A and B are shown apart, each in its own frame.
Chain A
Amino acid sequence: MTQRVRKTISINESLLFEQVPGNRSTCDFPPLDVPSGEMADYVPRELLRDDIPGFPELNEVEVVRHFTRLSTHNYHVDLGLYPLGSCTMKYNPKINEKLARIPAFAQAHPLQLHENTQGCLKVLQKLADLLVKITGMDGVTLQPLAGAHGELTGMMLIRAALTARGNPRKKVLIPDSAHGTNPASAVLCGYTTVTLKSNASGCIDLDELRRHLDPDVACLMMTVPNTLGVFEENIQEVARLVHANGSFLYMDGANFNAFIGVARPGDMGVDVMHLNLHKTFSTPHGGGGPGAGPVVVVKELVPFLPMPVVSTKTDGSLFLDYNRPQSIGRVAAFYGNFGILLRALAYILREGSDGLRQVAENAVLNANYIRHHLSRDFHLEYRQPTLHEVVFDDKNQADAGVHTMDMAKRLLDLGFHPPTVYFPLIVPGAIMIEPTESESRAELDAFIDTMRQIAQEARESPKLLQDAPQDIRSTRFDEALAARKPVLIWKETGQA
C-alpha cells in the first residue's frame, strides 16, 4: 500500500523580494525596429515614474525554481483524494488543458471579426446547447465568471422578469442550510433575505415555506441536493407552492454532480439554475479560480439573458447578437471565461450521455461507501439517505476534547486533505465529505482507514490531534495574528 505520509520538501522558500540583490532580469525583447527613444521622448516626463520601488529583478532559473519550490507546498487533486464537501474536487482531465492551449483559441482576440472566430463561437454555441439539454431548461448564458457570479446573474434575471410582470417584489427565501453566497447574492440584487428553518430531515419544511410565501416573495433559492447531500423530498410540491405564489424557483447548481444524467432540473419545476463548471464539469480549481457559472433558465427568462448571445445568421454562420432589447445587460467584460467553457465542453463531449450518468452514479456510490464504513466511528446528525456527500460531526469525539478542526489537521499529518469543516451551519462541528466519482476503491479504503485511525486516536491520545499537524512542513497558523495586524504586502522596512 502507498505510504500515506507525503512530506513535502522542507524548504522555507523566501519571498521574491528577498532574493539576492544585484540580479538582472533575463527577460529580453527584440531590438526596437522603429526609431528608438526613451519614454520621455514620447510622453511628458512629469507623467512618468522613475522607479517601481521594491519590484523584483530575477533571472529565469531563479523564477522557475522559486515557483516550483512553492508548488511543492501545495496539496492537489493529482496527489490524492481531496474530499472537500460541496467543492466537487474531481479529476481535471489533461486533454482539456491541451485543447484550451490550441493557439487559434488562446490567441483569439475577443473583438476579432466574427468571420474569423467561427471556431470560438461554435464552442460557445455547442456548450450552450448541451447545457440546456443536460438540465432540461430552455436557455442559457455562459457569461458569468464564477458560481457566485452566476447566482447574482440568476437573481437579476428573476428581478427583470418580475419587473416586466409589474413588480420586482422584495424578498428572497433561503433555507438555513444554504451556502453563504446565496443571501449575499440576493442582497447584491437589491433583495432582503428571509431564512427558512429546515425540518428534522434537513429539507425544506413545507409549513414554514407556506407561512413565508406572500406577495413580496420574489423567489426561493434552494440547493439540490442540499448541503447535507439530501435530495429535497418534496421538490415538486415546493415548486408548485412557489409558482402558485407567482414566485420563481432558483436552484443552486453547486451539487448538480449528484444527479447529472439521472434527473433534470427542468423536469422539477426549476426556473433558474447556475452551474459551477469547475465542480460538475471538471474544469480545474486553479487554487481558487478561474471558474465559470453559466445560468440556465426557463422560457420566460430567456429574453432577459445577458447580452451578447451567440446566434445563427441565415447563411448558417454564427455571430454575437446584441439585439436583445429586454436583456439585463452585460455582466462581464466579454463573453465569459472562454478557456474554461472550452474545457467544460471537452469534458461533456468526452463523457457523453453514457458517461455523465455514470459520473453521478459513481459519485453517489463513493459517498455512500464512505458513509457506510465510517458511520460507526462518526456521528451522523441527519440520518436519511444522502447522494454525493455525507455530513458527519464531532459529537462522538467531543467528550475527549477533540473537535472537528483537530481531526482535520490530523488528516494532514496522515497524508490527506481534510473534508469541508464547520459547514453547513445547521450541523455544529460539521465534517462534510465529498469524494467524487474520480476515486478508486483503494483510495477510498485508505481514507476510511485513516479516518478510523483518527477516531481511535481521539479516544486514546487526543493530544496527538489537538497538536496536529506535526509531521508536515507547517504547524497550525495564528489566524488571529494575521487578522489583528494585517500584513498584506511585503515591505522592506516591515516584517520580513
Chain B
Amino acid sequence: MKYIPHSEAETRAMLESMGLSSVQDLFQCIPAALRLAADLPIPRGKSELELERYFYQLSRENDGVLEFTTFLGAGAYNHYVPAVIDGIISRSEFFTAYTPYQPEVSQGTLQAIFEYQTMVSQLTGMDVTNASMYDGATAVTEAVLLAQRARSSAKKVVVAGSLHPFYRQVMRTYVANFDLAVEEVPWDSTGRVDPVALAAAIDDATAAVVVQSPNFFGAVEDVAECARIAHARKALLVMAVTEAASLAAFKAPGELGADVVAGEGQSFGIPVSFGGPYLGIFSTRSEHLRRMPGRVVGMTEDTRGRRGFVLTLSTREQHIRREKATSNICTNQGLCALMASVYLAYTGKSGLRELCRQNLAKAHYAREQLCAVPGVLPRFSAPFFNEFVLTLPGDPHAFARFCKERQIVPGVPLKWFYPGLDQDMLFCVTEVNQRAEIDKLVAAVREFFARP
C-alpha cells in the first residue's frame, strides 16, 4: 500500500471503466477454497521511520563489525571501496534498469559491461570474458561444466585440495547429479599443489584440473606447471581466483596456460556485505566461446552505422535452447559488474599496481612480525600475496576468543576446514590494515601464547 499510487476514487473509476464493481471480481479465477479469508499472519506495515529504526537497531547487534580490527580474508576481502562507486551505482539509470533486452535504450548498461569484459580480459590475459556470474564458487563450478562439455567423454575433474573449501562444496553439490567424479589432490610443504600427486590423479577421462592461485592458504601456485601437467592428458586447466586484486600483480593466467579463469571479483569495489552480492568472474579462450555459460555483450552497429553494443551469442542460452542450453543462467550480476568496472576504471593501472604493492608489503611485514613471536611458525614456504597460514603454539579458537577482548578478529582457524591443521590460522592483511593494528595483533599473539 506504501508504493501504490491509486486513491480509492481512482480505483473505483478504473473498475467502472471496465464494467466491474470490485477488485475481488478479478480474482474469481482462483478457486474460492484457495483464497485467503484473512490477512497473512504477519505484522501490518511500518512507516519508513519505524523501518529505519528497526534496521539500525539490528545493525547495532552486529557489535564489533565496525569497531574490531579484522584480518579475515578466505574468499571475502576488506579493500577500500572508493566513494565514486556508490556515486555511480546509486544512479537510478543503472540500478533500476532491467537486463538490456532493448539495446537502443540500454547502451549505458551494455557499454559498461563491454568495458567490464575488456578490463577483466586484460587482467586475466584471456580472449573473452562473460558479463559476470553469481559468485566465485558458482563460476568455478560452471568452469568445470564447460570442461565437461568440451570433453564429452570426461568422467572426472581433479581439484586441488587448496581450492576454497566452500567452492569445493558447491562443486560437489552440482556434480552430484552427473556422472562426474571429483578427485582432490593434496598440497606439499610449500602450500602448493603437489605436482607428483597431480600428475598421478589425471587420467585420459579427466575433463579439467582446478587450481586456485593464490590458493586458500595464500600460496601462489605454479600455474604454468599445473597447466603443462593437465594439457599432457588433454585436460583443461581451470584457474580459480578468490582474491582478484592479485591479478594485477602476477603474470596473467592466460600467459600461464589457463584455459578458463573463474572466480570471485568482490575485491573490485564490492563490500563484503556478509557474503553477497558478489561477482563471479569467467574468462576463457576463444575456442570455448560457444560453450561459455552466461550472458555476453558484443560490439555492433545500428542501421546508421554507429557503434553500439548488444547481448549476443544468445543461442547458447536457456530462452532459446531450453533443455540444450549451456547452463540455466539467465542473468549476470549486472550491478556488481558495474561496481567492478567503476572500481577498475577509477583505480587504473597505476592504482592497482600500488594496491598490490601495499598488500604485499603489509602482509609480509605482518608475517615477519608474527613469526618473530616464539613458537609461531610459517606453515608453508611458497610466495604469497596478502594471505598466509601460521602454525600457532596453541589452540587458535582459544586465541580468537582472547582477541575478542582486544577488539581484534585475528584470522580464520583452519581446523574446521582442514582437520589436521589444528593449530593453524589463515591471516589476511590488506591496504586497509594499519601498522598499528598489525602490531596490536602481534602483541596479542605474544601475550596469549606467553601465558603459562
Contact = CB atoms under 8 A, between A and B. Distances in A.
A88 B303 CA distance: 31
A489 B295 CA distance: 14
Given A71-B91, A331-B170, A37 B264 contact: no
A482 B298 contact: yes
Given A134-B42, A183-B323, A286 B335 contact: yes
A240 interface: no
Contacts of A236: 31, 33-34
Contacts of B55: 99, 102, 105, 342, 346
Contacts of B105: 73-75, 412, 417, 472
Contacts of A32: 357-358, 361-362
Nearest to A92: B96
A110 interface: yes
A123 B58 CA distance: 8
Interface residues on A, range: 35 or more
Given A74-B97, A184-B325, A24 B350 contact: yes
Interface in B318-362: 318-325, 327-336, 338, 341-342, 344-358, 360-362
Contacts of A76: 92-97
Interface in A309-368: 328-340, 342, 346, 348-359, 361-362, 364-365, 368
Give the secondary structure class of A's interface: loop
Contacts of A90: 3
Contact of B332 (A17, A134, A288): A288
Nearest to A61: B84
Contact of B365 (A12, A35, A105, A384): A35
B36 interface: yes
A233 interface: yes
Interface residues of B, number: 200
Contacts of B232: none
Contacts of A489: 114, 117-118, 121-122, 127-129
Contact of A107 (B27, B271, B277): B271
Given A188-B328, A365-B23, A477-B310, A148 B276 contact: no
A289 B119 contact: no
Given A56-B119, A84-B101, A34 B435 contact: yes
Contacts of A385: 26, 28-29
B370 to A, nearest CB: 13
B289 interface: yes
Contacts of A302: none
A238 B170 CA distance: 34
A102 B325 contact: no
Interface stretch (B62-70, B203-211, B372-380): B62-70
Given A263-B34, A476-B104, A332 B328 contact: no
A55 B349 contact: yes
A149 B118 CA distance: 26
Contacts of B11: 362, 365
Contact of B177 (A111, A118, A159, A469): A159
Nearest to A155: B177
B18 A372 contact: yes
B14 A25 contact: no
A156 B273 CA distance: 27
B195 interface: no
Interface in A132-146: 133-134, 145-146
A119 interface: yes
B319 A25 contact: no
A16 interface: yes
Nearest to B271: A106
B438 interface: yes
B93 A284 contact: no
Nearest to B384: A43
B394 interface: no
Interface in B233-277: 248-252, 255, 264, 271-277
Contacts of A300: none
A319 B132 CA distance: 31
B70 A352 contact: no
Interface stretch (A44-52, A205-213, A456-464): A44-52
B145 to A, nearest CB: 8
A287 B328 contact: no
Given A151-B328, A183-B322, A106 B273 contact: yes
B52 interface: yes
A29 B297 contact: no
A337 B277 contact: yes
Contact of A116 (B10, B68, B129, B313): B68
A145 B361 contact: no
A380 interface: no
B326 to A, nearest CB: 9
A120 interface: yes
A95 interface: yes
B260 to A, nearest CB: 15
Nearest to A37: B361
Contact of B297 (A35, A95, A438, A488): A488
A67 B78 CA distance: 25
Contacts of B74: 111
27 contacts: A27-B82, A39-B249, A51-B349, A70-B112, A71-B91, A93-B3, A97-B90, A107-B272, A111-B76, A119-B62, A149-B134, A179-B319, A180-B317, A235-B31, A264-B34, A290-B334, A331-B173, A335-B275, A346-B55, A353-B44, A364-B27, A369-B17, A438-B5, A479-B312, A483-B313, A489-B114, A489-B117
Closest 6 CB pairs of A and B: A334-B275, A25-B348, A352-B45, A286-B335, A288-B334, A329-B173
Given A148-B328, A236-B31, A337-B277, 7 more contacts: A43-B360, A56-B119, A63-B346, A82-B98, A122-B61, A289-B332, A336-B275
